[in-house]
Structure 1
């Protein structure tokens, strides 16, 4: 990235996110993400108000090149996806839990969408870990290929009640080993897909685990995220995120596609 270019220069004026498909308005030279600017009839920059048409929007190759350079500068992005496979994930959010799409299959749909977008990208090195009473690793920091999606299709929510913090500890230990070969600026993220129905830890020492996970994650420079699937346990999960300094996210059957788009925009570049 050019020395006089800042990260803000790579962000769309409208959505505030880093460009995914930058275009420039030929008449005034202002740049936006295409999916943002097509909703406008005039340039939204104050005191500009140039009328817009599809013909006035040109691909901004300069910004594309800067974003490419930025991606190269941050190197690989390491992501661990933790998937709750406890029996409670089988149920939907309906009154009986028997009608509609189960929470587990919403989580699988989400992961399939993410895997498709990460497909063959050597930038993203991804691990998949399922957890109920114990964590189980299915693959470790690999470039997503066809067989990874096949692994997803074989998973089922038939496990015991979850020990969420044991699974997080397992993931952090993986990152600690990885840190021996990574520099501190490398992006490391944990994404936990769960319905929030955990029993915390096999040891049962909740207060100790909150302190441990919070400090361990900070030490390793981890971007921690809990993605609540469905509408159960929202208050509990939000409180948990606050306690361990993880980001809270939430989707259900009504907004999953919108959430996927939002997730991809926010996680595409950090």
Structure 2
């Protein structure tokens, strides 16, 4: 046994700090919550307005345009039929709305931060261990601060998903910009390009395959939080998985789990195909 006189707890201090935050900055948290919820509900409304067959047409067109593989594109486009056949289409759209909201906010934050990391070395040195910690932290841990500050519901689920999925797009944006060939940058500067023009017209376009790979990885990590986020009220397919575990309903859990897998496969292939379109010719 660990000696009792060496033990100490910080739970009371943490609780007091959270209470102080909520008392002092309640309007700020309310504004953040309202903004995220409004965005989430709008995305969910749009997703539900689109007919189920149109999703399959969009997936097929995007994949076939990028890969020119008819059979593979058609197969992936048909896969979402399983979700509808299981009666989980509306829940899948709920999960997708949470994922899209988290991914959009991640990109709005992550791409500029990745650019700053590539431009300012000291900023990269400070941020790198923070990103290491974010990526090695168990996903369940992110539920705690989101739940403490925003309670239960879809907003804390989005924020937990956002924190979990943010590091890849930051890292890969930074890496893509740092790996732009120096001779190309020197040639652009020799032709009179300013720093801003160099970044906008040369470095970002050449780094786009890496940035889009970061978008792919961020989306996959956001999907990985679907089941975990259901524990604090995200609903969607994750709720079905959670209920099936609680009730030991293996069949129901299999259907919900397979639906999550189908969503992940389709989104992964679509984002990968878009990223490949930006790769420079060999």
Shorter chain as normaliser: what TM range?
under 0.3
More helix as a share of residues: 2
- TM-score w.r.t. length of structure 1: 0.25
**Highest RCO, 1 vs 2 (Cα 8 Å, sep ≥ 6):** 2
Larger of the two Rg values belongs to structure: 2
- TM-score w.r.t. length of structure 2: 0.24
